[in-house]
């Protein structure tokens, strides 16, 4: 079964970025599932944010 949410480390690996970059530039734009200390980042939300933040190539 495909994953529908990722941990922060998994989300960083999927995007190919550092956790520092993720926390500063990606995470502020995302809705996050929080349960206690656990944070999960929905894959669809990751795609939405990356599409929204993407620059148009010139």
Q: Within a domain: residue 9?
A: yes
- With respect to residue 40, please indicate whether it lies within any of the assigned structural domains: yes
Q: Let me know if residue 17 belongs to a domain.
A: yes
Q: For residue range 29-48, what is the model confidence (pLDDT) as tens digits?
A: 999 999 999 999 999 999 99
Specify if 39 maps to a domain: yes
Residue 42 domain-assigned (yes or no) = yes
58 within a domain of the structure (yes/no): no
pTM of structure? 0.84
Asked if the structure places residue 48 within a domain, the reply is: yes
pLDDT of residue 58: 56
Domain count, the chain: 1
**Beta strand segments in 1-58, E:** 5-6, 33-35, 38-42
| Structural domain containing residue 18 | 5-53
Distance between CA 32 and CA 26 in Å, rounded? 11
């Amino acid at each position: 079964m495909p994953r529908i949410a990722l941990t922060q480390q998994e989300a960083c690996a999927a995007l190919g970025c550092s956790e520092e970059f993720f926390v500063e530039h990606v995470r502020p734009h995302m809705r996050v599932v929080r349960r206690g200390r656990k944070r999960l980042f929905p894959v669809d939300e990751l795609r939405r944010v990356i599409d929204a933040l993407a620059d148009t190539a010139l």
